Structure 1
Amino acid sequence: MKLNSTKPGLKTLCPSRLLCQRIKDGLPRLIIDRLPGSEGFTETGWCKLRDSQGAFLSWGVVDPANNTIHLISSSENDPSVDLVSRFENALNKRSAMEALNGEVVRLVNGPGDNLSGFTLDSYGDTLLLSLESWALSDLVDYHFHKVMATLKPEHIILKVREKGRKPKGRIPERALLGLPVKGKISVKESGINYLVRPMGSLDTGLFFDLRGARREFALNAKDKSVLNLFSYTSAFSLASALGGARQVVSVDTSPECHNWARENFKLNNLDPEEERFRFIKDNVFHYIEKLVKRSEFFDRIVLDPPVRSIVGTGRFFLKSDLYKLVASCLTILSPKGRLLVTDNTMQGTENRLAQQVNKGSERAGISCSIIKIFEPEPDFPVHPLWPKGQGVVSMEVERS
């Protein structure tokens, strides 16, 4: 539906006094089922927020699929003008990152840039605009196109990451500029070449919110043995190999991801068939059990698990099971070895991740210490009133 502020039945919301102040301070979104009378917010549309005195606070877009009201404009007269202004401001903030020209970079980071529900990523000459819901798609108008066009891309791809509507890995998408991008394209991160697939699946093949962690991990990989668990397209493996690791083992259940990883190695003039590189198709838990039985240890381990993983009868849920994996990793980590562990639930915090690490340490009966907590990358800002917007929390742990 078109979001029309003159539409009959436009909703008006009068939040509590405390919530009004948070909205004035710049709160980027509201959780619908935490609001009084939330049963009325079941359809997509505009919502005007006012305080108890009737003074205007913000325009919101009701997004029932995500249980959210996106607060997208503080301009009562024309919310679209304010929205586009926020979009331009986000791009201008990235001017300090001109040194990354030609490399993957996030240009708009949702709530962190006061643009709840919107992200914009640059993959060289291809821009990828992602929305959390169709509720926001009508806001991508001529003015949005005009702002993105100033970057002179050859392609602009729109993806809608709507919850619970499409089979896993498949989402609605279309080309806003240029022809649809078929297959993979080559991009750079920290000077390393990676193949990404802008269209055709939920993820592109490279999560560059871990750019700094990957770069530092590679710097400490020289002459070390490296184990990359849930390796996906093996970005950490490739960075470690180029960093001089003497052994790199990548473990994932997907043959497609391993083939993709081999392509990435070849793209950087590395032979994936070298004896020091191994790509293992296996369940991570099962593989760790094999390593324990063989008394095989690693100097560096990457534990960057998905939010959930269901393979055969095996079930893994990051929120409840991460500490078990931490414990397992500590049992195959060499003394003074280092484990890089992440939480990408979008609700993780440094304290929660530290608790999982400590719980895993207790379970394994192996002491360890947290030696590094990685700050969000500069192109992944976190809104001070919405810390849940931090996409990934990562830290490095050293075994005693």
Structure 2
Amino acid sequence: MTPSALPLLDQHLRQIDSFPSQVRRLFHGRGQCFTGLEHITVDWLGGQILISLFKEPEAEFIPALCEMVKSWIDIPLWKNNVKSVLLHHRSRPDCELQVLWGTYTAQQSVIENDLTFLLDLGNKQNNGLFLDMRFGRSWVKSNAQNKNVLNLFAYTCGFSVAAIAGGAKQVVNLDMAKAALSKGRENHRANEHDLSRVKFLGHELFKSWGKVRKFGPYDLVIIDPPSFQKGSFALTKDYKKILRRLPELLSEHAQVLACVNDPSVDSQFLIDEMAQQAPEMIFVERLDNPPEFKDINPEASLKSLLFKRGV
């Protein structure tokens, strides 16, 4: 990332004539569509602007960016709506969060698809909600009525919130990060959900199949793993271990939403692995990604694939 590319970012953000009513990505450089800005994103978090850098830029880049931020605040739209502009150094070991302007609020509540999600903005990799999965959560909300749902690698339970809002009978969330599940419980409370319909299992999946089966069979299984989690999950090696256990977890006409967000792994990987490990699962479609996440190579972006049990 070089300072010479910043006018392109400036032009893009100055074209905004109103800020969204709900959380949105405003600029997606990681889709490789903006030369020189491939490692920067800008998100609207309901009054806070979050700029994220995924690679350390040239030394002159950040001072130039700070000067540009000052010019944005002079724009009436920004002056009247923006409370703070934050810079998140995602590539640094401490994931430093820098306040470029305004008042910093670490605990942030945002709205997506009329649901409330609680974010933690600070020195950590992720804030609690992956914005590129917006259409996936919307699909779950529209298709969860009266279903028993299993949410694997649940993180802060975004899919679970969507499922309960959509009328799911029960959602079982599994994630080895208990702190993330605690945030998920808070997300449900923020939406005034009945927590008696939600289970939180803070376990490593591959040691917990018995616990998972206990609450089945499931009408909908959501699999949204990290690409790599040291000591517990490597996508290309371990995804198949999940898929081969699906038949013992699923109801007769169950659906599976299987996701991959690794640029080096394409949709066909999942289609082929599913055909090999759980051949009764039929590929239905790939869900669209939100338009603001345009990628020069669609197979490098998020892949959310829907399968249905063929009986």
Query: 1:154: how far off?
Result: 1.1
Q: Residue 296 of structure 1 corresponds to which residue in structure 2?
A: 216
Q: Residue 231 of structure 1 corresponds to which residue in structure 2?
A: 154
- Whichever residue aligns with residue 121 of structure 1, its letter is D
**Counterparts of 1:299 and 1:135, CA distance in 2:** 46
Q: Residue 101 of structure 2 corresponds to which residue in structure 1?
A: 177
My pick for the range that moved more, 234-243 or 374-383, is: 374-383
Determine helix, strand or coil for the equivalent of 1:204: coil
Q: Residue 89 of structure 2 corresponds to which residue in structure 1?
A: 160
Query: 1:282: how far off?
Result: 1.2
1:332 paired to 2:249: yes
Q: Residue 316 of structure 1 corresponds to which residue in structure 2?
A: 233
Q: Residue 26 of structure 1 corresponds to which residue in structure 2?
A: none
Query: 1:160: how far off?
Result: 1.6
Query: 1:356: how far off?
Result: 2.7
Map 1:1-400 onto structure 2 (within 5 A): 61=1, 80=4, 83-91=5-13, 101-110=20-29, 111-114=32-35, 115-136=37-58, 138-140=60-62, 141=64, 142-146=66-70, 148-149=72-73, 150=75, 152=78, 153-162=82-91, 166=93, 170-182=94-106, 184-272=107-195, 274=196, 276-292=197-213, 294=214, 296-310=216-230, 315-361=232-278, 366-384=279-297, 387=298, 389-390=300-301, 392-400=302-310
My pick for the range that moved more, 281-290 or 331-340, is: 281-290
Query: 1:146: how far off?
Result: 4.3
When normalised by structure 2's length, the TM-score is 0.88
When normalised by structure 1's length, the TM-score is 0.69
Assess if the C-alpha contact under 8 Å between 1:84 and 1:143 holds in 2: no
Query: 1:125: how far off?
Result: 0.7
Aligned length: 300
**Counterparts of 1:89 and 1:161, CA distance in 2:** 24
- Whichever residue aligns with residue 288 of structure 2, its letter is E
User: Which gives a bigger RCO, structure 1 or 2 (Cα 8 Å, sep 6+)?
Assistant: 2
- Whichever residue aligns with residue 372 of structure 1, its letter is E
Structure 1 residue runs without a partner (length 5+): 1-60, 62-71, 73-78
